[in-house]
Chains A and B, each alone.
Chain A
């Protein structure tokens, strides 16, 4: 990936992070920690990898995406809005009574949302169904899904993992947002789902480890997934919950809590500083 493209994607990710903060702040509820954690995966998927058409969100040949960790809807909505599926101003209606942006995503309300999710474990299983449909119809679309690491405690994830390998769904590429934290604390204290990579390998998946905030690494993983035949791919993304906002990073207390005005302002200031830094670098690259 050339330097300028990478900087543009990093800038996009930072803009998405700002929207996540403001969605949760406007709603005075929601899940900022996990949303900030998976933002770079979202950015790479929707701005670099996936074949989608915001003007035709139900396009039959589009790549599909299922947010298995549905509580990170703020990240999905901000990404879809930035990608042009609906106006960014609607993000400020998140979780309101007259809004189509439910606390957890609904495919029947949100343009670009391919599956209703929120109940953990179910999203990856529906993604298996979509990938199976692609195989039946001999279509070349790909199916992507993001899971939480805590979500791996759901038995259904492993039923789905078994089925995806059994039916050789190499058109399925999933990501686990491995930030190590869930609502009640460290995943290894609450109910240890590790070792994650070994488990998926044992279930017959092609497994790739990467830094979940390294856009080039994520893009490379997606390319490797496409080249893998006969196996679904799990990209184990090493992430930091609350990434990009100093006081939220690696703090499970921000799993499902909204910032107050002061905290929101500080978060936005930090992200604006990051944006200025990236823009300065972009200017430098363009000059050179």
Chain B
């Protein structure tokens, strides 16, 4: 099967579900990159380019939402979550308005554009906002279902999407529920808790670990907030060691969310794999994952070290 980027799945999902006339899509001069232009081709009358003005885009989204619109606002993750953070906080989250921020080009795998465009803090920043639901999808099917769920949910949602084409994890029959993690591979010795394209890397790491006699479970946490505490506690009870894997700084992201959930409910050892408080740099996606220690082999090595 071919590789599909989650941003592409997002654009296709918007076009697929876009017949709902409440849906309005905003972009900030990146519609060809964020893929909202796929929606624009079908519903040009409900797609608005707000220009290179992300702060304004977020507040305009809020105003539209007060008039009953389901608003999708897209730009790169760095500009959505950090440049326009306070607009999201005060004009979208505080009044709990129905805006879906679909932020593409998250993580290192943006590639050659380098550090200024590689957002490694968005999960932490968005997770800190009351009323915000935070989602990070790993493949085409999951993205499609997440967009549908976001349309059906009334309130602010941040959805983290990637630039890079990724392999499928889930099948057509995949059921998506906000706040419910998914066990994508069973195992009893350790649980790899991953999000975004680290789900695929973690599955490959589990294959490597199997050769070394370690039976690794892999859980796809597509909803960072509210996080699936019950599933995390169950995994901690059944496998002991928990290893979080994210294409994001370890401060406050998936690892932080998992540690918060477990330390309050079932304290146990957690190894956090992610970017270690650094900025990215230019390079190919594969070279970047290698440099920052996020390839399947590197994940497997860290799990073995953590297992002691």
Interface residues, chain A, with chain B CB atoms under 8 Å away? 60, 64, 66, 106-108, 114-116, 118-119, 121-122, 125-134, 136-137, 155-156, 159-160, 162-163, 166-167
Pick the residue among A115, A162, A163, A166 that contacts B66 (CB under 8 A).
A115
For residue B265, which residues in chain A have a CB less than 8 angstroms away from its CB?
none
Chain B interface main SS type: helix
* Bound Cα distance A167, B48 (Å): 9
Query: Are B90 and A116 interface neighbours, CB within 8 A?
Result: yes
Q: Contacts A106-B94, A107-B95, A119-B86 hold; do A160 and B64 have CB atoms under 8 A apart?
A: no
Interface pair B55/A129, CB less than 8 Å apart: no
A-B contact pairs, 14 of them (CB 8 A): A115-B63, A119-B86, A122-B59, A122-B87, A127-B63, A128-B56, A128-B60, A129-B59, A129-B65, A136-B24, A156-B56, A160-B59, A163-B56, A167-B48
B96 touches A122 (CB 8 A): no
- Interface pair B51/A130, CB less than 8 Å apart: no
Assess whether A163 is in contact with B60, with CB atoms less than 8 Å apart.
yes
Contact of B63 among A108, A118, A129 (CB under 8 A): A129
Which among A108, A133, A137 has the highest number of chain B CB atoms within 10 Å? A133
> Is the CB–CB distance between B59 and A125 below 8 Å?
yes
Minimum Cβ distance to chain B for residue A82 (Å): 24
Q: Are A60 and B59 in contact (CB under 8 A)?
A: no
Are B66 and A130 neighbours in the complex by a CB distance under 8 Å?
yes
Closest A residue, CB atoms, query B52 = A159
By a CB distance below 8 angstroms, the chain B residues around A160 are 56, 59-60
A162 touches B64 (CB 8 A): no
Q: Which residues of B contact A66 (CB under 8 A)?
A: 63
Question: Which secondary structure dominates where chain A touches chain B?
Answer: helix
Q: Is the CB–CB distance between B64 and A130 below 8 Å?
A: yes
Which 4 residue pairs across A and B have the least CB separation, nearest first?
A129-B63, A125-B59, A133-B67, A159-B56
B30 within 8 A of A: no
CA distance A64 to B66 in the complex (A): 10
| List of B residues within 8 angstroms of A125 by Cβ | 55-56, 59-60, 63, 87, 91
Q: Which residues of B contact A (CB under 8 A)?
A: 24, 45-46, 48, 50-51, 53, 55-56, 59-69, 86-87, 90-91, 94-96
Cα A66 to Cα B95 with chains together (Å): 14
In the complex, the answer to whether B63 meets A133 with C-beta atoms within 8 Å is yes
What residue of chain B has the Cβ atom nearest to residue A126's Cβ? B63
In whole angstroms, what is the CA distance A156 to B84 when docked? 10
The reply to whether B68 and A60 form a contact with Cβ atoms under 8 Å apart is: yes
Instruction: Tell me the minimal C-beta distance from B207 to chain A in angstroms.
Output: 48
Q: How far is the CA of A162 from the CA of B90 in the complex (A)?
A: 21
| Shortest distance from the beta carbon of B249 to any chain A beta carbon, whole Å | 26
Chain B residues with Cβ below 8 Å from A115 are 62-63, 66, 91, 95
Q: Which residues of A are found within 8 Å of B50, using beta-carbon distances?
A: 163
Contact B95 A133 (CB under 8 A): no
Considering only CB atoms, which chain B residue lies closest to A109 in the complex? B95
- Contacts of B55 on A, CB cut-off 8 Å? 121, 125, 155-156, 159
**Could you say which of A60, A108, A122, A128 contacts B90, with CB atoms under 8 Å apart?**
A122
With CB as the reference atom, state the residue of chain B lying closest to A119.
Answer: B90
Q: Which residues of A contact B51 (CB under 8 A)?
A: 159, 162-163, 166
| A114-B66 contact in complex given A122-B87, A132-B48, C-beta closer than 8 Å | yes
Distance in angstroms from B50 CB to nearest chain A CB is 6
- A134 CA to B24 CA, complexed, in Å: 13
